[in-house]
Amino acid sequence: MIEAKEKFMEIPFIDLRVEEDFNERIFDRWKKALYQKDFIGGPALKELTTNILNYTGAKYFIPCANGTDALQVALRAVNIGKNDNVLIPDFTFWATYEAVINVGANPIIIDIDPYDFQMDFELCCKAIEKYKPKAIILVHLYGWCSQKLDEFRAICKQKNIFLIEDGAQIMGSKFKDEDIFKSAKLATVSFYPAKVLGCAGDGGGIFTDSEELYNICISLCNHGRATHYGHSLCGWNSRMDEVQAHFLIESLKEFPIRLESRKITEKKYLEFYEKNKTNLKISIEKPPLNITSNAYLQVSLAKENYDYKSISTKLLELGIKTANTYPCPVSKQQGLDKSVEIISEDNVAEHISKKIVNLPLFPYMTDEEINYICESLLKI
């Protein structure tokens, strides 16, 4: 056990730090919206949509209530439903599986690549031949994406499979120097507060390069409306409200500097690792080749004979909170339908889930905090 007297700093896993005048700007916006009674479908939503399209370079954007709804809307937009097979990765948040189940389709779980922690491309190809999926949900985990993103996109185009890119964690990330959302046929995003671009509650959105899909998604998010009291689809209520839109507008203004702050911290962790890797119980992972990370989550792997629990316990005794994203693959969740097919050769997701250590990483971390974390890693 590490003696308590060594502990002198408390560092949370995440701290939603903002700029000095940020709250005042938000309150001014909310006060104006309150007096004008702009709650649903008002001017802030239009402003946010324009700003996000300008930032990403994407063609169309549809705000919605949350990231899980965004996935379900995307699936419905391409007519995924009963008896359709959908490939998903084993290493993702439960919402990816949930969305497929909720539209009545059959999820087929694919193990991950041990090098970039994304869906394994070769296993995916085998599953395509065996199960003839109608769609694939490719999850861009940790603010990264698969090194084989081009190959995933190409095979889906070749085989007429709908590729839905779950970009809940990748706002601000780039693949081959291009915003990932810009070149996606259909992608989703989450604005959960802890994300790199978060709102003051739940929020999400859908990106597409198709005018047809754009119009379908808009309708599905708003009760399937064609006119105010005319309904051409059976949708549901998944509209983003003006409160969240205002918050995101101001957050997006600060997004570049917050992103740069995250990347500086990520770089310092990596530099520390290169100097001290032989003395550490973890390996600090670099983003895969061709990918510009948004530093959403710092990713480390516990070295042989260690696991997340032992390392996190020792760091917590020193005042440092960590995370394990994710501690359990989809294939081992209690709520999994036992009939679901799982495609794996080496149980990579299960192995990695026990080893992942996410160190604190959030905007405006101080040198003192970063140095303390690094010094503590040498003590455990």
Per-domain boundaries in the chain: 4-17+256-377, 22-250
b/e sequence 239-276, b meaning 16+ C-beta within 10 Å: bbbbbbbbbbbbbbebbeebbebbbebbebbeebbeee
The CATH fold of domain 4-17+256-377: Aspartate Aminotransferase, domain 1 (3.90.1150)
Give residue 41's pLDDT.
Answer: 87
- The rounded distance, in Å, linking the Cα atoms of 365 and 362 is 6
362: DSSP letter: -
In CATH, what number does 22-250 get?
3.40.640.10
What's the pLDDT at 227? 85
Residue numbers in the chain where pLDDT is lower than 50: 1-5
**In angstroms, what CA-CA distances link 340 with 86, 99, 129, 328, 335?**
11, 14, 17, 16, 11
Residue type present at position 265: T
Quick: pLDDT tens for 166-203. 999 999 999 999 999 999 999 999 999 999 999 999 99
CA distance 97 to 35: 41
Q: What is the largest CA-CA distance in the chain?
A: 68
Q: Do domains 4-17+256-377 and 22-250 have the same CATH topology?
A: no
pLDDT in tens, 126-162: 999 999 999 999 999 999 999 999 999 999 999 999 9
Cα–Cα distance measured from residue 250 to residue 263, given in angstroms and rounded to the nearest whole number: 21
Alpha-carbon distance of 263 to 259, in angstroms, equals: 6
